[in-house]
Chains A and B, each alone.
Chain A
Amino acid sequence: MATTATTGSRGKVKVTSSGVEVVQRRRPLSTTLTYVGVVLICLWGLLPFYWMIVTSFRDVGYTFDTTPWFTHVTLDNYATAFSTARGNHFGRALGNSVVIAVAVTVIGILVGVFAAYALARLEFRGKFYVLGLILGASMFPGVALVTPLFQLFTNIGWLNTYQALIIPDISFVLPLTVYTLTAFFTEMPWELEESARMDGCTPGQAFRKVILPLAAPGIFTTAILAFTAAWNEFLLASQLGGDKVQPVTVAIASFAGAQPHQEPYTAVMAAGTIVTVPLIVLVLVFQRRIVSGLTAGGVKS
């Protein structure tokens, strides 16, 4: 590969007008390698996920069938996943996850927008320390919250309530939203806000009428990231929640089979598919935005 590249570049130096021809001569090998790489990366990302979907549609008697395509197709596993006969409450858990993730996202965005605006837009003393504090908060190990919050929530009778799962989630969603939004806000055309203020808008009006619409895509992207993070939470929910408010991650992890110690693999794969597919669709539709959101928070330098 190295020699091809070197000859190619030497050719390019010699003749500028026939540069196109040289570039095309150089292409085959590296293009082939690129496409091999692309295919391997796609397989890496998709194969295990594909296996989950195939299994979720496979008759339970053929759980360990290794045929790589859809065989013995049935919808029974989806019915089993939602069945409450074995003490599983997947349907309810799905609702709980929506309630918790939406609440966490809304609170995280509402509070985070203001902080991010201040951090991106205003000059003030101690800004560096505020950023450091928020970054420090995002590095915090979730397990350190378990003991004190468990005791606190026991004392005030909050175990097995929605607020007991929603409030702790703020600890990792809020730093995420502030950080991502700050990165978005820093890159916005703030001249427009100045013009609006010169036209007689108050700072509040300028923010609502000019900045907020411009910021909407960034806020939306951050909301997806926050929702995903809250939807994925497991540790705190497994310790501070109970049957009534259990989110899907905890529900699926403790799915019971027909007999004790029997793992209901196909039903678990069906439940996993239900939980994952909406997120995957969201990711497919907004992949460009999500990538920019993921990489906005610090890596861009």
Chain B
Amino acid sequence: MSATSGVATGEYAQGKPPLKPAKRASLHDGSGRRAALLIAPTIVLLAIVILYPVVSAVSQSFTKDAGLDPATGMFVQGGFAGVSNYKLWLLQDCGSGAFSCPPGTLGSQFWTATGVTFLFTVVAVTLETVLGMIFALVMHRKFKGRAILRASVLVPWAIPTAITAKLWYFIFAYDGIANHLLGTQILWTGDGWAPKFAIIIADTWKTAPFMALLILAGLQVIDEGVYEAAKMDGAGAWKRFVHITLPLVKPALIVAVLFRTLDTLRMYDLPAILTHGAGNTSTLSMLVVDQVRSGFNAASALSTITFLIVFLVAFIFIKFLGANVTAQKAPKAKKAG
């Protein structure tokens, strides 16, 4: 976009053919320094609010908690802990070898929390993607009252997650409307599978419409002519969907799935308020917060592990599934470098 405008003005200014070096010399004199000045505040702020905490969390995760030394009864500063904080979580090592964390302790909950976090992510994101795709296909059709539809899909998005959690807590109450409509008496925030379903349902309700909007944006850039051509060749609706819509919407779809996946992996508010971790629904983020109260440094190790998991999943998406999150900007950056 800016490339075309730049070319046009370059011509106008110098009465010369639009040569790129000339354009840059006239338009972007000292733009490197200007850019640095303009970007500096953002970088500085992000360094304070993200880089500092990350560095300090990582260094804390290798430190022992200060406290009373059981051997001497004296108060001692932490000191270097090696990887013991990581062993607590990964090997459930509460001080006397692997799997020494008694059931019920936070250490013993690590793998359950990891499992349930991934369960939520896989199931909820799959449901949201399928529903979002259906919603987007409906919304893509031409009909009157599109504004109403767009507004009503934005409603779940606009409600704060904490309020969403409280709303579904009420819907899923024992005497609530969900049990009434289903004719059941399920303890939705009790034990077993019900609380997991409750969280997945509430999360899907809230974010499937958002997914639909992102997919719809991808659908809208597809050229209608491709469909017309396929129709003439006798391709049915399903064939057109599989061979045209899906491949062409794939870039938008993968980015949407990536963002939702990362959001679900770090989910906190919804399960914390809806089930309070009942029925093994404590996510990794909830486990970190629970641990903060009993030992900062072990909490730092767990939050570092969570961070690495999120980072790894993002990396896999970008590297292997070809999620192009900076689609528009990449070529331009190359030109500059």
Binding site for B on A (CB under 8 A): 1-2, 5-6, 9, 13, 30-31, 34-35, 37-38, 41-42, 44-46, 48-49, 51-52, 55, 63-64, 66, 111-112, 114-115, 117-128, 130-135, 137, 139-152, 167-168, 170-171, 174-175, 178, 182-183, 186-187, 189-191, 194-195, 198, 203, 228, 231-232, 234-235, 239, 248-250, 252-253, 263, 265, 268-269, 272, 275-276, 279-280, 282-284, 287-288, 290-291, 294-295, 298-301
Contacts and interface: CB of A to CB of B under 8 A. Distances in A.
A239 B289 contact: yes
A139 B310 contact: yes
Given A45-B156, A123-B31, A178-B42, A131 B326 contact: yes
A125 B333 CA distance: 7
A111 B299 CA distance: 32
A48 B167 contact: yes
Contact of B213 (A139, A171, A294): A294
A134 B251 CA distance: 20
Contact of A148 (B9, B268, B300, B333): B300
Given A141-B307, A253-B273, A283-B158, A119 B285 contact: no
A123 B163 contact: no
Q: Which of B5, B159, B175, B330 has the most CB of A within 10 A?
A: B159
Nearest to A183: B328
Q: Which of B36, B139, B152, B234 has the most CB of A within 10 A?
A: B152
Contacts of B157: 283
Label chain A's interface by main secondary structure: helix
B42 A143 contact: no
B311 A139 contact: yes
A146 B307 CA distance: 12
B326 A128 contact: yes
Given A135-B325, A276-B160, A283-B158, A148 B53 contact: yes
B205 interface: yes
A133 B151 CA distance: 33
A55 B169 CA distance: 13
Nearest to A63: B175
B62 to A, nearest CB: 13
A38 B143 contact: yes
Label chain B's interface by main secondary structure: helix
B138 A52 contact: no
Given A253-B166, A291-B213, A174 B45 contact: yes
Interface in B235-257: 236-238, 251-252, 255-256
Given A112-B42, A128-B330, A145-B50, 9 more contacts: A42-B152, A49-B159, A141-B310, A146-B288, A146-B292, A252-B163, A272-B163, A298-B255, A299-B217
A122 B34 contact: yes
Interface residues of B, number: 124
B154 A48 contact: no
A194 B10 CA distance: 9
B131 to A, nearest CB: 8
Given A6-B234, A143-B285, A232-B162, A295 B46 contact: no
Nearest to A273: B163
Interface in B21-62: 24, 27-28, 31-32, 34-36, 38-39, 41-43, 45-46, 48-50, 52-54, 56-57, 60
Interface string B115-154: 0000000000000000000110011010101011111111
B87 interface: no
A190 B5 contact: yes
Contacts of B134: 37
B156 to A, nearest CB: 6
B327 A148 contact: no
A248 to B, nearest CB: 8
Nearest to B23: A123
A138 to B, nearest CB: 9
Given A140-B50, A283-B158, A114 B41 contact: yes
A98 B175 CA distance: 35
Interface of B: 1-2, 5-6, 8-9, 12-13, 24, 27-28, 31-32, 34-36, 38-39, 41-43, 45-46, 48-50, 52-54, 56-57, 60, 134-135, 138-139, 141, 143, 145, 147-163, 165-171, 173, 175-177, 180-181, 205, 208-210, 212-214, 216-218, 221, 231-232, 234, 236-238, 251-252, 255-256, 262, 265-266, 268-269, 273, 284-285, 288-289, 292, 296, 299-300, 303-304, 306-307, 310-311, 314, 324-330, 332-337
23 contacts: A5-B231, A42-B149, A48-B171, A118-B38, A122-B28, A126-B337, A139-B310, A140-B50, A143-B266, A143-B288, A171-B49, A191-B8, A195-B9, A232-B162, A235-B269, A253-B162, A269-B167, A276-B158, A283-B155, A291-B213, A294-B214, A298-B326, A300-B217
Given A38-B145, A112-B42, A148-B57, A234 B268 contact: yes
Nearest to B59: A148
A170 B49 CA distance: 7
